[in-house]
Amino acid sequence: MICAMWRVARSTVYAWRLGETGPNRDALSASQSDDRDRGRDPSTPAKRGPRTPLDDATLLGEIRTALKASGFCTEGHRKVRARLRFRGIRVSKHRVLRLMRQANLLAPTRRRHVHGDRTHAGTITTSRPEALWGTDATRFYTRREGWCWFFGAIDHCVEDVVGWHVAKVGDRWAALEPIRQGVQRTHGDYVPKVALGLGLRMDWGPQYTAHQFLGELRWLGIRPSPSYVGEPECNGVMERWIRTLKEECLYLHDFATLDEARQVIGEFIERYNREWLLERHGHRTPADVRASLTRRAA
């Protein structure tokens, strides 16, 4: 504490106590006077190393000059600091960041999403059907068409596949097909606002952020429920089912054509909905779970 107040090294204090030398009071007084001129509390310990001869106002002007001369509009404080060093101005990146933040000179960034509980205390499974669906996509290979796309949608309560689609091109229209199939299958019609109260869990793929995809969801009355990186729940129900699809179907077949893949995948999904055992529902099949929940609702 004494060394911090005197602004001297501990070795100097020990030498002074032994009678070898003493602190340079003239230099100390000059340092404190310089601190007062800079508006800094003389009693606060200063950072070691050489001091920048520029005050905040002058340095801010140099920062503005560097930004105008860069020719880019998304450079942050690190690159601004590097450009200042190219011009012989050595300054801390923290000081550059502070001044740029105060003057609103930082590059615009996407607004950060407030993440949910990271302790895995939340859940995305539901207690009734048609409350929340999940949708996602994966790719598989065929010898004739090459890489193709699979899109699917699953109910977060029953865990049955409500719709699926395979296509060569994995665009927003292909991503909409499982949703259309699921709405017609579970709601019996395809009209505006027919699926009010239903949420759709999805990731941030370009198919799911497209204007046409989100517009059709609004037309149906479906509430988008995007998943974010860093949240324990994410899109786990659909992603876990895609793992089952790969292990039980895609990895076991060498598809020659897209038509063959469509037939094999369709047969597997039908078998899954009829015969797959769900531990969460007492080792019952998705078809049994949906039938029992439908009778209970009736």
| Burial bucket for residue 251 (CB in 10 Å: 0-12, 13-18, 19+) | exposed
pTM: 0.64
Q: What angle do CA 35, 36, 39 make, to 5 degrees?
A: 90
Is the pLDDT at 8 greater than 80? The verdict is yes
Residue in the structure block whose two tokens are 């020990």: 14
Domain edges within the chain: 1-48, 52-107, 132-297
206 vs 116: which has the higher pLDDT: 206
pLDDT on residue 96: 93
How far, in Å, CA of 212 to CA of 187, rounded?
22
Give residue 24's pLDDT band: very low, low, confident or very high (50, 70, 90).
very low
- Residue 219 and residue 196: Cα distance in Å, rounded? 10
Confidence of residue 25 (pLDDT cuts 50, 70, 90): very low
Q: Report whether 76 contacts 107 (CB < 8 A).
A: yes
**23-31 CB contacts, 8 Å cutoff, 24+ apart:** 31/7
Asked whether the beta carbons of 153 and 135 are under 8 A apart, the reply is: yes
Contacts of 36 (CB under 8 A, 6+ apart): 42
Query: Alpha-carbon distance 67 to 73, whole Å?
Result: 8
- 10 Å Cβ neighbour count for 186? 20
The 10s digit of each residue's pLDDT in 215-232 is 999 999 999 998 877 676
Q: Which pLDDT value is given to residue 28?
A: 46
CB 257 within 8 A of CB 144: yes
Q: Going by C-beta distance under 8 Å and a sequence separation of 6 or more, which residues neighbour residue 233?
A: 116, 122, 123, 124, 227
Q: How many CB atoms lie under 10 A from the CB of residue 248?
A: 13
Give the CATH fold of the 132-297 domain: Nucleotidyltransferase; domain 5 (3.30.420)
Question: Cα-Cα-Cα-Cα dihedral of 157, 158, 160, 164, to 10°?
Answer: -40
